[in-house]
Amino acid sequence: DGGITQSPKYLFRKEGQNVTLSCEQNLNHDAMYWYRQDPGQGLRLIYYSQIVNDFQKGDIAEGYSVSREKKESFPLTVTSAQKNPTAFYLCASKPIFSRSMDGYTFGSGTRLTVV
Amino acid sequence: DQQVKQNSPSLSVQEGRISILNCDYTNSMFDYFLWYKKYPAEGPTFLISISSIKDKNEDGRFTVFLNKSAKHLSLHIVPSQPGDSAVYFCAASGGAGGTSYGKLTFGQGTILTVHP
């Protein structure tokens, strides 16, 4: 079955450490996205990529970095510069030329906790 | 600047009755709106969408209404079932990023509880 796989589901990090969240999709989607969810807030866009080797900052990119070396993969690194990294992180993808947003597919998320 | 707002953090309804979830937006460039359902520690799942050229879209028990002049949309669930209990997010696309870029702007979410 096609879908998006995020791993791990739960992740603990010590303050001052970088950590990388994995996102893999086998939907042949061109565009991929990273969102962050905090309690009582909607999802906020961190980074997005429409094509391999290209990505753009979203609304809250500070303290994060990404890479897009393969179409299937869009890992997110939470760096020590991110002041409040504890959150639920969601990866998504969609076909780039789809005018409809109905093809937007989300992964099951990674809960990151800084200890 | 919260461009998409869901002002009701929670809603409680009886099984079989109608659930109405509301959403307001400020950006007049938004041209596509979606509703997602989300359970804790899971990703959102798509429910229903509406383009700005329509004012209503229906899919089974779910209907979305769009009032462009008021910049308001609502999701009606009839009849409500206990399995509908979840967090519901409205989202919008368009604006500076454009629908083709796939940037979604989300509301804060509304927790729906349907009592048996």
Considering only the beta carbons, identify the residue of B6, B89, B104 that sits closest to A104: B104
User: A101 pLDDT exceeds 90?
Assistant: no
Closest CA to A64 of A20, A113, A1: A20
- Pairing status of strand B19-25 against strand B45-51: unpaired
Over residues B57-98, the pLDDT tens digits come to 999 999 999 999 999 999 999 999 999 999 999 999 885 545
Considering only the beta carbons, identify the residue of B41, B42, B102 that sits closest to A101: B102
pLDDT at A108: 93
Q: pLDDT grade, residue A25 (50/70/90)?
A: very high
Q: Which is more confident, A31 or A102? A: A31
> If you measure CA to CA, which chain A residue comes closest to B103?
A45
Query: Residues of A with CB below 8 A from B41's CB?
Result: 9, 88, 108-109, 111
Tell me the two tokens of residue B110. 């509304």
User: A96 pLDDT exceeds 70?
Assistant: yes
Query: Residues of A with CB below 8 A from B34's CB?
Result: 101-102, 104
Residue B47, number of CB atoms within 10 A of its CB: 19
Provide DSSP, B3-53: SEE---SEEEEETTS-EEEEEEE--TTEEEEEEEEE-TTS--EEEEEEETT
Residue A6 main-chain phi, psi, to 5 deg = -110, 135
Query: Residues of B with CB below 8 A from A94's CB?
Result: 102
Return the percentage of chain B with pLDDT > 90, whole number.
76
- A43–B89 C-beta distance less than 8 A: yes
Question: How many beta-carbon contacts under 8 Å exist across A and B?
Answer: 74
- A42–B4 C-beta distance less than 8 A: yes
Query: Residues of B with CB below 8 A from A33's CB?
Result: 102-104
Closest CA to A45 of A1, A115, A9, A92: A92
- A9–B43 C-beta distance less than 8 A: no
Distance CA A26, CA B17 (A): 40
Residue B68 CB burial class (10 angstroms; 0-12, 13-18, ≥19): middle
Among B33, B46, B52, which would you mutate to test the A interface (most chain A Cβ atoms within 10 Å of its Cβ)? B46
